[in-house]
Amino acid sequence: MGWLPEAVSTYADRIDGIFYLILVITGVIFVVVEAVLLLFVFKYRHREGRAAHYTHGNTKVEIVWTAIPALLCVLIGVLSIGPWLEIRNQANIPADAYAIDLTAKQFEWNASYPGPDGRLGTADDVIKRNQIHIPGDRPVVVTLRSEDVIHSFFLPEFRVKQDAVPGMEIPVWFQATRTGEFTLACAELCGTGHTRMGGRLIVHSAEDFNAWLQSEGAGPPLGPRVAEASAEDIPDQEASADVPSERPVAVGTASPSTDHDHP
């Protein structure tokens, strides 16, 4: 039977944590409610001479079982806000994230890397089809575009999913916790070939990634990661025009860039 795939991004554990919290809460409610239901089904089934208890309800009980689910829902909601904003709020994209462009079209993913000029979106960009190579020692920000219909960028092991919408540029960031090869999938019905719009995401160590860049004739090798670096110091910063340049470098503890230093 299926269970959550291995978690290999820095925030995957936080998502899984909320998943398990909800699983426990709903699991308890599920067991209690179904047990009570079964109990009533057997205990109060019709027998000769049984008379039902006449009552229209009880306001106190009513208030209690309104308040409990309300509190639990508020709890789950409040706990969800932090990770959600950490993952999705553009201000929280780590400043030193390595930028890649990813353009979806029927039925392929095209990842662009800066060419020798070190800039994305220029003629010398290196484009890989259905293969995304990323460095494992730093966050990555992928700018999603679509040339035709809506696709959805899905990395199950990373707990990453984001629609690629034509006419929009949507940045998605994540950081791997280990090197290896992982699944890339399209999660939004995008036409007849939707089913084969898969690929691989390959996480390299820092050295391997530079070697890979070189072998592909792509942009300048990445230096050692500087977590507290200012925006100007990051080689590919200006190239990723889609990431707002005025965003804060590190936003308190919400930004993982301060939590996970380079190894």
> Cβ distance 7 to 62 under 8 Å?
no
Q: Which is nearer to another protein, 25 or 250 (CB)?
A: 25
Among 131, 183, 210, 258, the residue binding another protein under the rule CB under 8 A is 183
DSSP for 80-116 reads HHHHHHHHH-GGGS-TTPEEEEEEEETTEEEEEE--T
**What whole-number distance in Å separates Cα of residue 124 and Cα of residue 112?**
10
| Interface with another protein, residue 150, by CB under 8 A | yes
**Which parts of 59-118 interact with another protein (CB under 8 A)?**
61-62, 65-66, 69-70, 73-74, 76-77, 80-81, 83-85, 87-90, 106
Q: Which is nearer to another protein, 25 or 226 (CB)?
A: 25
**What whole-number distance in Å separates Cα of residue 155 and Cα of residue 86?**
18
Which tokens in the block code for residue 183?
């699944």
Which is nearest to 192 in space by CA: 106, 100, 96? 106
**Which parts of 7-66 interact with another protein (CB under 8 A)?**
14-15, 18-19, 22-23, 25-26, 29-30, 33-34, 36-37, 40-41, 44-46, 50-58, 61-62, 65-66
| Interface with another protein, residue 165, by CB under 8 A | yes
Closest approach, Cβ 225 to another protein, in A, equals 25
**Which parts of 203-242 interact with another protein (CB under 8 A)?**
none
CA 222 to chain centre: 24
